[in-house]
Amino acid sequence: MRYRMLGEDLKVSAVGLGCMGMSHAYGAPADEGEMTDLIAKAVDAGYTLFDTAESYGTDQDPHANERLVGRALKPYRHQVVIATKFGISFGKAGASAPHTVIPDSRPETIRRAVDGSLERLGTDYIDLYYQHRQDPDVPVEEVAGVMADLIREGKIRHWGLSAVGEDIIRRADKVCHVTAVQNRYSMMYRDTEKLFPVLEELHIGLVPFSPMANGFLTGKYAKVHQFGPGDYRAYMPQFTAESEAENRRLLQYLQDTAAAKGITDAQLSLAWMICKKPYIVPIPGSTKLARVLENGGAADVLLTPEEVAGIDKALDALPMSAVFGGSPVRKTE
């Protein structure tokens, strides 16, 4: 495993572990004992960045993922970086998405959220605390002011933003330096590349979520797949029958290019972004140890600038379907 810096001084593994799917979004939660063992083995493999959120859970336990991550990482607390998020809850499902997102970043809500996360994670500080989504009723400057207070109080050490553009980043950073931005980014969704100049100017890291388009770019879902109850992928356009033919050339290109390098499709997808910029740290998730180890191995794949540029050029020319862009944000239900 290689390591790199987010922001000015947050050192993390070049690949992090997204823990959401262990408790949320991909069907029934995984066995907690097995996930605890998986997280321990990820630490042994060199992972140091573990990502969760207060909203990742089930109807029975809306905060299940934080509890799991906190218990699993307790023996390694001072070896790892725990990232969690505040600021959203989920509303009723619609026809085109698994749920709606209800933002709430009022200062008093943030205060309750951070104390709840600290308790569930079993820690007295959070390494990296993200605003999960923007609240249209609370200016980001006000949120950044609360983050500055929490840093002074020692409850958090760094903070970040998720699913944001340049204007929000600049406004927030003026009040309290932003360490990382967590946005959707993959070979099938490259719009985030337009943020590279501002991230470099302000010394902010990029933590891509869905770096393999929710697993699609692993090549394991080339044929139409039936997802079970509670699995968000049933709503995602990249997994539909209509997209199968549209994405065939993309998947073949990945397979051929990865085979030529002696790596897997997943490792190629991750190495492409890791080698593109020194401040990019993807956080793929999995409930399978073999996949976690495979993804971590991408940190050791070195692509030359010419190879990265060649992949970019190929992607520009390849047809591909839309990818899931997230659930609709609604202030009230």
Structure confidence by residue, pLDDT tens digits, 251-293: 999 999 999 999 999 999 999 999 999 999 999 999 999 999 9
**The one-letter amino acid at 34:** E
Q: How many residues would you count in the chain?
A: 333
Lowest mean pLDDT among 13-22, 85-94, 146-155, 165-174: 85-94
pTM exceeds cut of 0.85: yes
| CA dist., res. 144 & res. 113, Å (int) | 15
- Specify whether the CB–CB gap between 187 and 269 falls below 8 A: yes
Active site residues: 56
State residue 222's pLDDT score: 62
Nearest to 135 by CA among 144, 126, 127: 144
* Cα R_g (the chain), whole angstroms: 19
Between 289-297 and 265-274, two packed helices, what is the crossing angle to 10 degrees? 40
φ and ψ of 199, to 5 deg: -65, -40
pLDDT digits (tens, 9 = 90+) for 24-64: 878 889 999 999 999 999 999 999 999 999 999 988 899 99
Q: How many CB atoms lie within 10 A of CB 136?
A: 10
State residue 38's pLDDT score: 98
Distance of CA 276 to the CA centre of its chain: 18
